[in-house]
Amino acid sequence: MKILGLDSSGLVASVAIVENENLLGEYTVNYKKTHSQTLLPMLDEVARMIELDLETIDAIAIAGGPGSFTGLRIGSATAKGLGLALNKPIINVPTVDALAYNLAGHQSLVCPLMDARRNQTYTGLYRFHTNEMETLREQCAVGIDEIVAYINETGQPVVFLGDGIPVFSAYIQENVKVPWSFAPAHMNKQRAGAVAALGMKYFAAGRYESAAEHRPEYLRLSQAERERKEQQHTSEPENAKENPLTGTSETVNEGSRL
């Protein structure tokens, strides 16, 4: 089985090919370029280096969210385009799960931390039995205080990773009450190799979808959507009521109620 893995959910852009138990090739860049500039050229380079015919892949695994809204859209569009062109299924791998899978086999609890802005983190909590991953807390968008309180309640050692580390390191040092550590540089960010390897397990379990069906999982509204909702809320008249049939707000003329 051969899986193409893609991850553009954060600052890192990454492409990988995994065949059975072998990582055939991986191209990962964490630099100041947009993923629309890098993702397809990276895929072309990896395919050229390992003499890959894309027709021979069995499925495309994509880090499906949460993460950067722009990055997720670029990754989703790339995966959907390839899936439609090649007639291959999509494996939607939760971003936080894939990030945790970087540390498969680790003896401590694994807590990915992605910077979700607004004092929140995209996170979850996992532990491994050899290479089998158990989810203790599904990926979610919460305050750093909430996930740290949950970790303290477990009483077990934990390792943190992800681009949220620089943002939350001071809070971790002051508030985590169990033994803790940070993952090393080669394991602490998104990698398409982990997306593809975990995606292979999901594919074998029947967890895949068609390219037409695939949608990213944002977990929360984008900043633009939040601002639009706030503007709509503040601009609505006091006598505006929601129409249960349409879900839209309509102004009710109180004098017409007889």
**204-248 tens-digit pLDDT:** 999 999 999 999 999 865 444 444 555 655 555 555 555 544 444
- CA gap 135, 251 in Å, rounded: 46
pLDDT in tens, 22-36: 999 999 999 877 898
Ordered by where they begin, the domains of the chain are 2-95+190-204 (3.30.420.40), 103-187 (3.30.420.40)
Q: What is the pTM of this model?
A: 0.85
Average pLDDT estimate for 45-51: 97
Task: Name every residue whose Cβ is closer than 8 Å to that of residue 9 and which is 6 or more positions away in sequence.
Answer: 63, 65, 66, 67, 68, 71, 72, 75, 95, 114, 190
* Of 87, 90, 81, 36, nearest in space to 63 by CA: 90
Task: State residue 92's pLDDT score.
Answer: 97
CA-CA-CA-CA dihedral for 177, 67, 84, 202, to nearest 10:
10
Average pLDDT estimate for 135-151: 97
pLDDT in tens, 90-126: 999 999 999 999 999 999 999 999 999 888 999 999 9
Q: Is 44:23 a contact under the CB 8 Å cutoff?
A: no
What confidence category does residue 151 fall into, taking pLDDT thresholds of 50, 70 and 90? very high
pLDDT in tens, 164-212: 999 999 999 999 999 999 999 999 999 999 999 999 999 999 999 999 9
Task: State residue 64's pLDDT score.
Answer: 95
Q: Is the peptide bond before 237 cis (omega within 30 degrees of 0)?
A: no
Task: State residue 252's pLDDT score.
Answer: 40
Residue 249 has pLDDT above 90, yes or no: no
- How does DSSP classify residue 209? B
Task: State residue 234's pLDDT score.
Answer: 58
The H or E element containing residue 60 is strand 59-63
